[in-house]
Structure 1
Amino acid sequence: MIEELLPPEAVGEEAYEDAPATTLFPEEEALLVRAVDKRRREFTTVRACARAAFARLGVPAAPLLPGERGAPTWPEGLVGSMTHCDGYRASAIGRSRDLLTIGIDAEPNGPLPDGVLEHVSRPEERVWLADLRTAEPGVHWDRLLFSAKESVYKAWFPLTRCWLDFEEASITVNPEAGTFTAALTVPPPQVDGRPLTGFTGRWLARKGLVLTAISVPRSPS
């Protein structure tokens, strides 16, 4: 499913079951010394997805270690993003000569826990959420909003190395087109020779999941 949300310049790989035979690099294994089984399976399978994407790009396998604020450190010349939730793992990767950044997220298509929506949403977002709950009840729009904001942060952080709170991005969803926009409410940083004022992304809801993805192309030289 993830490749449906990505441009041709990006490669996506996904898994619905964990990969028991996956071998980790020693540096990766060292991060799991005290990990519970669930954490180990998520960590291992999502890296198996990433390395499958590497292979499709002709890039040698390499350790994928968390860097600043837990963001994965990609090999030179690549940008990417990883996500996992119950029953799903995915990675999306592209070359930095083509794409500035990628952010993906997957969530179960179910309601957010009580109290979470008020923490992650803005007043204007709660207006369209109420409308869509009535018009399109098959999608848990609060969860889609959360996922979109996760993708925004994953796309934002590699470009700026700065934190972005949930309320600092205002999301609007187009339910017919399967797209969303994120207007940033912070002073826009200069990225790739232009002010970064927001993102556009794509979403889908299928197989009990909601997926969101953002891919930002590099400006023509």
Structure 2
Amino acid sequence: MTAAHDILGDFLGQGVALAHADPRLACIDAHPEELKYVQQAVDSRKREFHAARACARQAMGLLGEPPVAIPAASDRSPVWPPHLIGSISHCATFCLAVVARKGENYAAIGVDVEPAEDLPVELIDAICSPREMAALDEKPPEHRLLWARILFSAKEAVYKCQYPLTGTMLDFQDMEVTLADTCFQAKLQRQAGMFGKGSILEGRVTFAHGCIVTGVTVPLAGLGA
């Protein structure tokens, strides 16, 4: 595992610790309390799961926190120690974990990683609103489906950021994303807990190790805005 500041810098801002790994290469000692969550999974899924949680413990260590187990809730979301917030994402080649202390700068954080590859064209209608599809049509044709994958990742990060606060199961059509080169805004199309319809969550986009990385934060000052 590697502290992710070498590639991501202060991707999500001050006070957020990051760590990453390649699950194909990482030598992972799985935490015994976490084995049960992927007991029936295929080997590749087990590697990703354990590598990502090992990254989370490394990120905790960067904050001076002990390397405790991170259980999975019934909905498979990570259960963090009560005084921490965090997010985990992984794909076949890259795992990323971010952790921060609750109540310092942010109320919630969410990250997503996806292969930097074209989104299958058959998924666009389910993921994109008409306005988002019109924006994609303005991109160079050879890059349109890669931008669609970035949009998909942005929506995943938004979902993972808001869910611990609201418990709301947002669909892809429940938010509309405006992409820029290194950032994005997501406008909610329905209420989600304390976030009313029309609320805007802001995120960032970068590339690392052949993957798209997106991240969203809810600043404490903006909670409920």
The question of a shared fold, defined as TM-score above 0.5 by the shorter chain, is answered with yes
User: Which residue of 2 is the match for residue 22 of structure 1?
Assistant: 28
Moved more, 139-148 or 45-54: 139-148
Summarize the Cα distance change of 1:73–1:100 in structure 2 as closer, same or farther, 3 Å threshold: same
Moved more, 122-131 or 138-147: 138-147
Question: SS state of the match for residue 190, structure 1?
Answer: coil
1:130 and 2:137 matched? yes
Deviation at 1:19, TM superposition (A): 5.8
CA distance in 2, matches of 1:152, 1:180: 10
Deviation at 1:17, TM superposition (A): 4.3
CA distance in 2, matches of 1:63, 1:207: 27
Count of residue correspondences: 216
Moved more, 109-118 or 123-132: 109-118
Moved more, 118-127 or 200-209: 200-209
Question: SS state of the match for residue 89, structure 2?
Answer: strand
Deviation at 1:195, TM superposition (A): 8.5
User: Which residue of 2 is the match for residue 121 of structure 1?
Assistant: 128
Counterparts of 1:74-89 in structure 2, within 5 Å, are: 74-89=80-95
Of the candidates 77, 80, 95, which is equivalent to residue 71 of structure 1?
77
Summarize the Cα distance change of 1:121–1:42 in structure 2 as closer, same or farther, 3 Å threshold: same
Deviation at 1:206, TM superposition (A): 4.5
User: Which residue of 2 is the match for residue 38 of structure 1?
Assistant: 44
Counterparts of 1:161-176 in structure 2, within 5 Å, are: 161-175=167-181
8 A contact 1:19–1:45 mirrored in 2: no
Question: SS state of the match for residue 83, structure 1?
Answer: strand
1:95 and 2:97 matched? no
User: Which residue of 2 is the match for residue 54 of structure 1?
Assistant: 60
CA distance in 2, matches of 1:20, 1:131: 40
Q: Tell me, which stretches of 5 or more residues in structure 1 are unaligned?
A: none
Of the candidates 198, 217, 220, which is equivalent to residue 218 of structure 1?
220
Of the candidates 182, 190, 193, which is equivalent to residue 194 of structure 2?
190
Moved more, 24-33 or 93-102: 24-33
CA distance in 2, matches of 1:188, 1:31: 28
1:105 and 2:107 matched? no
Summarize the Cα distance change of 1:205–1:17 in structure 2 as closer, same or farther, 3 Å threshold: same
Moved more, 74-83 or 59-68: 59-68
CA distance in 2, matches of 1:168, 1:195: 9
8 A contact 2:168–2:192 mirrored in 1: no
Question: SS state of the match for residue 119, structure 2?
Answer: coil
CA distance in 2, matches of 1:50, 1:206: 18
Summarize the Cα distance change of 1:138–1:130 in structure 2 as closer, same or farther, 3 Å threshold: closer
Q: Tell me, which stretches of 5 or more residues in structure 2 are unaligned?
A: 1-6
CA distance in 1, matches of 2:197, 2:120: 35
Q: Deviations over 1:111-142 (max 9, x none)?
A: 112311111110000011111234x8398101
TM-score (norm 2): 0.87
User: Which residue of 2 is the match for residue 154 of structure 1?
Assistant: 160
TM-score (norm 1): 0.89
Deviation at 1:188, TM superposition (A): 5.3
CA distance in 2, matches of 1:119, 1:169: 12
